[in-house]
């Protein structure tokens, strides 16, 4: 780690960023985000490109200075498994998330023994382990942080570091997935070029990200969980996400106004962030009202795919 998170990072830790899409530096301030999840100090400016409308963080922490914000308290990297009397609910929720991912990709890609799958931003590796056990695929993962001490990486090939800097074989993978990765990316154009290069002809790329033009963003604004500063570098509307896909050289197969990730988390966390005002969220205490609220909102959540609550997913294919 290169800087402490006890105090806000200094100006020397940041860098100005041109638009990831069109390269323009002409922007309008959009909002100032904070690390609402952990409560680490700092204010992080998001802007909108005056030329193409992309919303992104600028200035942003340099890649060398972002590591402290991905420590063991970061939600995708948490090691804790004992949640008391709610442990069963927690494990069921995590398992359901991976089942929903599996269900979604299985609608498009053929998962069978020998299928080569790469999960970018793989976190704990639980999704890859599910595909290994359910479909006997050859599973690989990439993440900024090495988490291979966790049990889900048994039998999984792991690559540590930036995705587009990995030595990955061309025309090799049948399926590449990015579950809430592209909004963290420091060079999304290069990431999509890398995906095009390593996919086999006919291979699929599945990307899920928060949707900026959604109900939950309109509700919560700068406290929207999709802001998640400073880890999130870009916030995509439907139009800006599809524009990135068009320039990637991949064919758009489908666009879904929802994802495998539960939209309810954005409803609950956005309200909690609004109430806490940057002080962070105690996940152990929050888990009780989280599941209670989920039960109460079940009738509404049954229709979440039609409500544009928080998520969006694109499925692309490399031309044969």
Domain tally, the chain: 1
Sorted by sequence, the CB contacts under 8 Å of residue 75 that are 6+ apart come out as 37, 283
Distances (CA, A) of 83 to 50, 79, 80, 88, 93: 46, 11, 8, 8, 12
Domain with 66 in it: 11-317
Question: For residues 233 and 192, what is the distance between their CA atoms, to the nearest angstrom?
Answer: 16
Q: Is the dihedral of CA 134, 302, 211, 288 positive or negative?
A: negative
Sorted by sequence, the CB contacts under 8 Å of residue 219 that are 6+ apart come out as 267, 270
- Residue 3: per-residue pLDDT: 45
The answer as to whether 5 is a domain residue is no
Q: Domain holding 239: CATH number?
A: 3.40.50.150
- Residue 1: per-residue pLDDT: 36
Report CA 240 to chain centroid distance, whole Å.
Answer: 16
- Residue 122: per-residue pLDDT: 96
The answer as to whether 1 is a domain residue is no
- Residue 297: per-residue pLDDT: 86
The answer as to whether 3 is a domain residue is no
- Residue 93: per-residue pLDDT: 66
- Residue 5: per-residue pLDDT: 66
Q: List per-block mean pLDDT (blocks of 10 residues) for the chain, which spans 320 residues.
A: 69 97 98 94 97 98 93 56 57 81 98 98 95 98 92 96 97 98 97 98 98 97 98 98 95 97 94 93 79 82 86 97
Residue pair 120/176 in contact (Cβ under 8 Å)? The answer is yes
Question: For residues 48 and 103, what is the distance between their CA atoms, to the nearest angstrom?
Answer: 35
Give 11: exposed, middle or buried? Use CB within 10 Å, 0-12, 13-18, 19+. Answer: exposed
For residue 311, give the nearest of 210, 224, 164, 178 by alpha carbon: 210
């Amino acid at each position: 780690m290169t800087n402490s998170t006890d105090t806000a990072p200094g100006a020397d830790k940041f860098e100005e960023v041109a638009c990831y899409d069109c390269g323009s530096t002409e922007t309008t301030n959009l909002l100032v985000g904070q690390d609402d999840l952990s409560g680490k100090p700092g204010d992080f400016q998001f802007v909108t490109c005056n030329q193409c409308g992309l919303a992104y963080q600028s200035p942003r922490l340099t890649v060398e200075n972002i590591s402290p914000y991905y420590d063991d308290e970061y939600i995708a990297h948490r090691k804790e498994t004992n949640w008391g009397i709610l442990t069963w609910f927690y494990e069921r929720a995590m398992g359901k998330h991976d089942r929903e991912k599996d269900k979604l990709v299985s609608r498009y890609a053929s998962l069978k023994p020998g299928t080569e799958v790469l999960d970018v931003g793989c976190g704990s590796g639980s999704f890859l382990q599910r595909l290994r056990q359910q479909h006997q695929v050859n599973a690989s993962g990439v993440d900024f942080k090495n988490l291979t001490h966790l049990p889900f990486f048994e039998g999984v090939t792991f690559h540590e570091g930036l995705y587009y800097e990995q030595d990955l074989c061309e025309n090799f993978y049948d399926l590449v997935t990015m579950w809430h990765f592209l909004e963290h990316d420091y060079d999304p154009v290069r990431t999509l070029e890398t995906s095009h290069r390593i996919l086999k002809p006919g291979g699929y790329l599945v990307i899920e990200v928060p949707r900026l033009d959604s109900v939950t963003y309109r509700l919560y604004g700068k406290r929207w969980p999709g802001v998640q500063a400073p880890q999130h570098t870009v916030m995509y509307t439907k139009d800006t996400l599809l524009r990135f896909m068009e320039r990637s050289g991949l064919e758009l197969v489908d666009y879904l106004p929802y994802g495998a990730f539960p939209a309810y988390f954005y409803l609950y966390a956005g309200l909690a962030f609004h109430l806490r005002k940057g002080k962070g969220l105690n996940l152990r205490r929050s888990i009780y009202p989280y599941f209670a609220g989920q039960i109460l909102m079940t009738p509404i959540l049954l229709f979440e795919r039609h409500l544009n609550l928080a998520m969006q997913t694109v499925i692309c294919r490399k031309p044969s």
